Amino acid sequence: MAYTEEELKKELETKEYEYGFYTDIESDTFPIGLSEEVVRQISYKKGEPDWMTQWRLDAYNSWLKMSEPDWANVTYKKPDLQNISFYSAPKKTSKIREFRSGRSRIIGNLQ
């Protein structure tokens, strides 16, 4: 069946995931949006030194002043960067408990 781009988009938005692989893992996820505070929190979570945090903040402030180039002959919907979470990682647990729990969930998904 031939699809138009809109028909394919609509189908993929409403279609259930059909392959069955899903592992529910608790995660530490920041709220959506990007700001200096989010940049600082990311650096803190990663245990980075102050100079790295400052480097990240300088890069973020430079990025804020930039405009997206329009020299390419490409049209697309611009992403809403304030509608994205920029940090998500599995919550820290004890290594042995994490291994046993993860192993059993993965095995359960494969059965």
Give the start-to-end residue ranges of the domains of the chain: 29-65+82-111
Q: What pLDDT, on a 0 to 100 scale, did the predictor assign at position 95?
A: 60
Q: Which residues, given as ranges, of the chain have pLDDT below 70?
A: 1, 22, 93-111
Q: What pLDDT, on a 0 to 100 scale, did the predictor assign at position 39?
A: 97
Q: How far apart are CA 3 and CA 8, in angstroms?
A: 6
Q: What pLDDT, on a 0 to 100 scale, did the predictor assign at position 108?
A: 64
Give, as one character, the DSSP assignment of residue 84. Answer: S
pTM score, whole prediction: 0.61
Tens digit of each residue's pLDDT (9 = 90 or more) over 19-41: 777 677 888 899 999 999 999 99
Q: What pLDDT, on a 0 to 100 scale, did the predictor assign at position 50?
A: 97
